[in-house]
Structure 1
Amino acid sequence: MRRRIISSLTAFALLTGGVAAIAGTMGNSSAKAAQDASTFKDVPASHWASTAIYSAVEQGYFKGYTDGTFKPGAPVTKAEMASILARLTDQPELQTPEANNFTDVPEWAKSSVSTAIAKGFIHPSSYKGKLDAKAPLSRGEMADWLTQGLCVVNSDYGQALSDVTNTVIPAKEYFTGKLADSQKNAVAVALGTGLMSVANDKTFGVDRTTTRAEVAVLIARYASTSQTKPSDIQGLNELRQVGLTGTNLSVIAPRYQKTSKNKFLDSYDYSKVTDDFFQVRNKNLVTATNYAEVKIRNWIIVNPYTVSSKRSIFYPVFVDEKDSLLRGSYFSFAEFDLNIKDSMTQLQAGSLLQSPSINPLKSPNSKSFLEYSVPHINDFLNSKGTFKVKNPTYWSTGLLHFDKSLTTQVKIVTYDGTDFNVTSN
């Protein structure tokens, strides 16, 4: 299927030396493109996108420049990207697409922009009559366009865009509060599907321009993702579950299930017991001590023993490659909201909830955690270990046990008696 999408693009090439160039048909032109691809002075085999660039040129996506370069870091304009997306023949069209009411699209791109709109990539209603077609396409807009296109391919991608509204996004801007609400959903789905990723500095970079190298990679990724069911993508499933419930527990640790009734006294009201974290998310919790009111925004589980696509999408945020645990435990990370009543020390915070899995005593000290600028308990403590603010919000670290000789039960109770109670079976 990916090959059919790529083949449909062989007639298009991006700007060459500032002038729009159309690639020839396959055959001799393809052979010439392959030769060009092997001699780009600025795309060595070690370049992160070299394989995608060589393939894209061979297939007719791009042409090189007359000086023998590809200029992989050169920006791609919105008009150029619309022209590429318009040629995805396996992308279905909307029955009633929005009208192309843009007044600033150059003549050569008008038809392509209309087609990109019909295929669901571009929503004119999100603009004010002007696409700014000659401007470089930002990564934020790229995320919008690609995820909107996925919604046309499979309506469940549209549901996913809604489900991630309240999720935790594995990008530095999310944790520092610099990711606009209007951008969160598209960025979450772009990351969750693997269409896009964060840079070395851990930022998504919504305002950074999209480069020729990135486009070469993204089109191939889109072709693959559009043929994949959203439910088959673990990272997206995690983001959806966190958005809907506040935790990825059911995805990463499905062995943890509602504690059975026979574990409770006959007099206990079992109707209050739930395995739905949403029922306790952002609710005031019953505490063992009275130093502060406690709420939990999110609870993230990371399995440290898996690799590659089986790893949690949150692994790079919280865990370093060298980190390991004993006796089969998983990492447990909870985001706490505290309302300190008078004063409280870090040790006293640890007495609020007596749980090895969810405890506000300390935050991770991994290099990854610090690089993503995730709120740390130390951000709110003075030199004596006492909280210097009344309402800190930070992430804590704990352990989720599977060894039956340890405490595997996780119990959180709200003031109204709702008992989130799960155990490893």
Structure 2
Amino acid sequence: MKKMMISGVTALALLTGGIVGFGSVGSSVEAAQATTKFKDVPATHWASSAINSAVEQGYFKGYADGTFKPSSPVTKAEMASILGRLSDQPNATTQEQNNFTDIPEWAKSGVSIAIAKGFINPSNYKGKLDAQGALQRGEMATWLTQGLTVVDPEYKQAISDVTNTVVPAKEYFTGKLASAQKNAVAVALGTGLMSVANDKTFGVDRTTTRAEVAVLIARYAAVAKTKPADFQGLNELRAVGLTGTNLNIIAPKYQKAGPEKFSESYDYSKVTGDFGKVRNQELVTVTNYADLKVKNWIIVNPYVKETERSIYYPVFVDEKDRLLRGAYYSFTEFDISIKNSMNQLQAGSLIHSPTINALTSPSTKAFSEYGPKHINDLLGPKGVFIVKNPVYWGHGLLHFDKSLNPGVRLTLKDGTNYTVVPN
């Protein structure tokens, strides 16, 4: 990212920590040296390198008392001004006007430029930005991902593709992730632009700190130079959003079964390898205790190195977990409509498959921390379901060993047959 000059003494004072009488960025060496003197940013601070870089490039400066205040919140006006100074960010094709009535004089130009660069969409607001309010992480995700759509239109398509995806953040599983922010949060996570905290939450309502902004500036620059298709995590989120599964990305050897897998009399035109055609549709069940739909189907390969893992690995799998005979983990979100009553064992008999298995939910620490619905939350005495329409995640295995009959087959009541096998 190029170093940019700052115009306006007052704007700089507010933006970089309150030191007035400073009209330009100055020497990068001087700025870098200044960061070593921050009493509250030791070399061991998690964002020390990013803070050094942000100060060197003139985005921030320390306070008069020798501190940086890395945990202090950043206001919307401050963040807009920072984003407006990203010289590598192109202007949006369609220009919107800065019609906000609550922007302080020092920030008006910066906010207008941030709007022109596509970070802020005034039509999402009602004339007021709440410019002096602290910027929350959910809104930060929205601003940054909107900026990406200007850099590469494929990011706009990605934001659309993840509308129905499973977001690997606790708020999604607990129903606390607002639909208005879901897509932005998904893309922010899928690109590595932002991440969940130790408590597994994205923290949409948490304020954004000066240290976080320093990190995000560098991350945004890197993501903006990368094609959406180059992020495996984003590819998974898009695939799940569009089809309900990440199978083709994590286990591409599983493909539509050929006609030789069926009898000559079978109508092969009804066979599909597109999971999207059976997602959220009523399936033919082995037993008649309930009607069954599959909302989502997530595959996790536990054998790859950490940098190549599924974005869903941390949600379902503990670090110590490994499988035998090369099987992958299979996690299925079921939507069941019980006809009279049904117990846990009977749920497991609805479909005879080691992969699409409604008998149990994951018992991992990770699963409990992220908070997806567990089958045990829905069972009463003697393992009988206490709700008529249970929706929960099941745990199965995706096999590759042909001696274990690894094919996965689901049939809809209209005759559509989803069958995939490892080739």
Task: Say whether the fold is shared (TM-score over 0.5).
Answer: yes
1:385: how far off?
A: 1.1
1:13: how far off?
A: 7.1
Corresponding residue number in structure 2 for 1:202? 200
1:173-322 matches, cutoff 5 A: 173-322=171-320
1:365: how far off?
A: 0.6
Distance change in 2, residues 1:367/1:52 (3 Å):
same
Corresponding residue number in structure 1 for 2:408? 410
Please, which of 150, 159, 177 is the counterpart of residue 157 of structure 2?
159
| Letter matched to residue 4 of structure 2 | S
Distance 1:332 1:21 in 2: 60
Distance change in 2, residues 1:22/1:239 (3 Å):
farther
1:104–1:131 CA contact under 8 A, matched in 2: yes
Distance change in 2, residues 1:139/1:9 (3 Å):
farther
Distance 1:203 1:108 in 2: 34
1:23–1:60 CA contact under 8 A, matched in 2: no
Asked whether 1:24 is paired with 2:20, we answer: no
Aligned residue for 1:368, secondary structure, equals helix
Distance 2:21 2:177 in 1: 37
Aligned residue for 2:295, secondary structure, equals strand
1:326-337 matches, cutoff 5 A: 326-337=324-335
Distance 2:55 2:373 in 1: 44
Corresponding residue number in structure 2 for 1:397? 395
Corresponding residue number in structure 1 for 2:355? 357
1:36: how far off?
A: 2.3
Distance 2:39 2:362 in 1: 44
| Letter matched to residue 259 of structure 2 | K
1:37-186 matches, cutoff 5 A: 37-186=35-184
Aligned residue for 2:383, secondary structure, equals coil
Aligned residue for 2:421, secondary structure, equals strand
Distance 2:187 2:18 in 1: 33
1:3-22 matches, cutoff 5 A: 3-4=1-2, 7-8=3-4, 15=15, 17-18=17-18
Distance 2:115 2:229 in 1: 26
| Letter matched to residue 50 of structure 1 | S
1:404: how far off?
A: 1.8
Distance 1:8 1:18 in 2: 19
Q: RMSD of the TM alignment (CA)?
A: 1.5
Distance change in 2, residues 1:110/1:398 (3 Å):
same
1:131: how far off?
A: 0.8
1:26: how far off?
A: 3.7
Aligned residue for 2:409, secondary structure, equals strand
Corresponding residue number in structure 2 for 1:419? 417
| Letter matched to residue 181 of structure 1 | S
2:13–2:19 CA contact under 8 A, matched in 1: no
1:55: how far off?
A: 1.8
Distance change in 2, residues 1:335/1:329 (3 Å):
same
Distance 2:36 2:19 in 1: 22
1:58: how far off?
A: 2.3
Distance change in 2, residues 1:127/1:293 (3 Å):
same
| Letter matched to residue 153 of structure 1 | V
Asked whether 1:33 is paired with 2:31, we answer: yes
1:304–1:325 CA contact under 8 A, matched in 2: yes
The superposition leaves residues 144-182 of structure 1 with CA deviations (integer Å, 9 ceiling, x where unpaired) of: 100000000111100011100000000101000011111
The superposition leaves residues 288-342 of structure 1 with CA deviations (integer Å, 9 ceiling, x where unpaired) of: 1111110000000001011233111100100011010111111000000111111
| Letter matched to residue 331 of structure 2 | F
1:344: how far off?
A: 1.0
Aligned residue for 1:177, secondary structure, equals coil
Distance 1:318 1:178 in 2: 19
Unpaired runs of 5+ residues, structure 1, are: none
Aligned residue for 1:144, secondary structure, equals helix
State the percentage of identical aligned residues.
69
1:277–1:420 CA contact under 8 A, matched in 2: yes
Distance 2:15 2:109 in 1: 17
| Letter matched to residue 335 of structure 2 | D
Distance 2:322 2:46 in 1: 29
2:4–2:58 CA contact under 8 A, matched in 1: no
| Letter matched to residue 296 of structure 1 | V
1:303–1:330 CA contact under 8 A, matched in 2: yes
TM-score, normalization by structure 2: 0.96
Distance 1:281 1:229 in 2: 29
1:79–1:113 CA contact under 8 A, matched in 2: yes
| Letter matched to residue 97 of structure 1 | Q
Please, which of 351, 364, 367 is the counterpart of residue 366 of structure 1?
364
| Letter matched to residue 76 of structure 2 | K
2:196–2:202 CA contact under 8 A, matched in 1: yes
The superposition leaves residues 340-380 of structure 1 with CA deviations (integer Å, 9 ceiling, x where unpaired) of: 11111111111110001101000001100000011000000
Corresponding residue number in structure 1 for 2:377? 379
Distance 1:77 1:291 in 2: 55
Distance 1:24 1:32 in 2: 12
1:252–1:303 CA contact under 8 A, matched in 2: yes
1:23–1:62 CA contact under 8 A, matched in 2: no
1:46: how far off?
A: 2.4
